[in-house]
Structure 1
Amino acid sequence: MPTNRGKRAIKWSSLYVILGICLASCDQATSTLPIYGHREPVERNVDGKTVIDTIYQTIPDFNFINQDSATLTQAFFDDKIYVANFFFTHCPSICPTMQRNMLKIYQEYKGDDRIAFLSHSIDFKYDQPHILKAYATKLGVDNDQWQFVNGSKADIYGISEKYLVYTAEDTNAPGGYDHQGYLVLIDKDRRIRGAYDGTDDEQVSKLQADLKILLKEQNPGS
């Protein structure tokens, strides 16, 4: 039986293959980013001709409670690019560094309504709205551009799979939860356009550069 770390490696092995193919075929000079995740071809008829389209993996509809005790759905992110991650407020390991790096990007784009941020707590027991609110305030978040949410274990852990991020309740992990520290870049069509190690300065710089590329791609007139 694979360990949690083994399961995590297995889960990501197929994604790495996809990433390798995408990166090999994508040139940054084209000013576009690859689309990650599962995909499937579909046939449709256009003017009597068969055309092959691709359906890409997308983030599904969701319903969570945010730091202001309000319901947050995918509608908040309509027509926005956003950066998402998974954390918990009393995390003693990677979360402080990951969230500080997320904060840098938030501060860079603060007030820009084209961009939003979303942090999902994986501690469904402790991280109630008032805890999330205190955490956000202490971090330096003072507008609704960065949302902090919680929900049931099934909902939070289920949606983490859609972001291709590993999360687990694990008594052997620091703080009782095991998770990856990826900052995941989502476009206006809810497709995954990049995943970056939020604890690595070089990866965070890559996210900042890719975010600019995606903004130009999806807001060509701005």
Structure 2
Amino acid sequence: MAVVLLAAGLVLSCSQSDEKLPILSRREAVTKVVDGKSVTDSVYQTIPDFAFVSQYGDTVTAKAIANKIYVADFFFTSCPTICPKMKVQLKRVYETFKGNPDVMLLSHTIDPAHDSVAVLREFADNLGVSGRQWLFVTGDRETIYDIGQNSYMVTAQQDSSAPGGVVHSGAFILVDKQRHIRGIYDGTTQEGVDKLMNDINRLLAEYKS
């Protein structure tokens, strides 16, 4: 299954010579009143507030990732194609940054009808994941699809002809502490995830400086 990315409208925030990672979030027009006059400015979109349910049965909101760098992805536990590769690769990220309070992982199921809290908990346990640094979340399907496409700039859609009945992106999305997207990577390959981990370290260094 091909990795599908929605890359239209990406805006790079820095030059090639800048050591900081670019901001890949789309820009949006924001109008505000300054000195009694309406002023329209172009600002980077951020990942919006959300409310999903984790593998532990509690509600996960944007507060969970406040002041953290995190990696987001979209998968489903019964996926017969790219998801097993993705989870092997994301486990590498988990093991590398395990215990780092500035880094989290957030995996969204795109098959909430099947992927209940109990199913997600078993899936996490089988991966050897414990604690709250890597959360597997479920919720309303359309809400998950919407945040994936319109905020994280990846896609998932039902397709009865596709293995597992869903076509979806194999991307890992790196998000900074201001909830801006700073990188999109092929989560099915070692090379893509090596670059992700290198960029996580670059982003951590950016905040330290």
Once the two structures are superposed, what CA deviation does each residue of 1:94-125 show, in whole Å capped at 9, x if it has no partner? Answer: 00111111110110111110000000000020
Once the two structures are superposed, what CA deviation does each residue of 1:55-108 show, in whole Å capped at 9, x if it has no partner? Answer: 101110000011011101010000000000000001000001111111101101
| Pairing 1:1-222 to 2, within 5 Å after superposition | 12=6, 14-15=8-9, 18=10, 22=12, 25-27=15-17, 30-40=18-28, 54-161=42-149, 162-220=151-209
Task: Tell me which of the two structures has the higher relative contact order, counting C-alpha pairs closer than 8 angstroms and 6 or more residues apart.
Answer: 2
- Judged with a 3 Å threshold, the aligned counterparts in structure 2 of structure 1 residues 156 and 46 are, in CA distance, closer, same or farther, namely closer
Q: Unaligned 5+ residue runs, structure 2?
A: none
- Judged with a 3 Å threshold, the aligned counterparts in structure 2 of structure 1 residues 23 and 197 are, in CA distance, closer, same or farther, namely farther
State the one-letter code of the partner of 1:133.
R
Work out the percentage of aligned pairs sharing the same amino acid.
Answer: 43
- Quote how far apart the aligned CAs of 1:142 are: 1.2
- Quote how far apart the aligned CAs of 1:24 are: 8.4
- Quote how far apart the aligned CAs of 1:155 are: 1.1
- Judged with a 3 Å threshold, the aligned counterparts in structure 2 of structure 1 residues 85 and 39 are, in CA distance, closer, same or farther, namely same
State the one-letter code of the partner of 1:169.
Q
- Quote how far apart the aligned CAs of 1:150 are: 0.5
Q: Give the secondary-structure state (helix, strand or coil) at the position aligned to 2:123.
A: helix
State the one-letter code of the partner of 2:48.
P
- Judged with a 3 Å threshold, the aligned counterparts in structure 2 of structure 1 residues 106 and 173 are, in CA distance, closer, same or farther, namely same
State the one-letter code of the partner of 2:179.
R
Length-normalised TM-score, structure 2: 0.89
Q: Unaligned 5+ residue runs, structure 1?
A: none
Q: Give the secondary-structure state (helix, strand or coil) at the position aligned to 1:14.
A: coil
- Quote how far apart the aligned CAs of 1:163 are: 0.2
- Quote how far apart the aligned CAs of 1:31 are: 2.6
RMSD between aligned residues: 2.5
- Quote how far apart the aligned CAs of 1:219 are: 2.8
- Quote how far apart the aligned CAs of 1:25 are: 2.7
* Larger CA deviation: 183-192 vs 162-171: 162-171
- Judged with a 3 Å threshold, the aligned counterparts in structure 2 of structure 1 residues 131 and 153 are, in CA distance, closer, same or farther, namely same
Alignment length, in residue pairs? 204
Length-normalised TM-score, structure 1: 0.84
Q: Is the 8 A contact 1:58 1:189 kept in 2?
A: yes
Q: Give the secondary-structure state (helix, strand or coil) at the position aligned to 1:102.
A: helix
Q: Is the 8 A contact 2:14 2:20 kept in 1?
A: no
- Judged with a 3 Å threshold, the aligned counterparts in structure 2 of structure 1 residues 13 and 213 are, in CA distance, closer, same or farther, namely closer
Q: Please state which structure has a larger fraction of its residues in helix.
A: 1
State the one-letter code of the partner of 2:57.
S
- Quote how far apart the aligned CAs of 1:42 are: 5.9
- Quote how far apart the aligned CAs of 1:52 are: 8.9
CA–CA distance in 1 between the matches of 2:131 and 2:95?
Answer: 11
CA–CA distance in 1 between the matches of 2:201 and 2:107?
Answer: 21
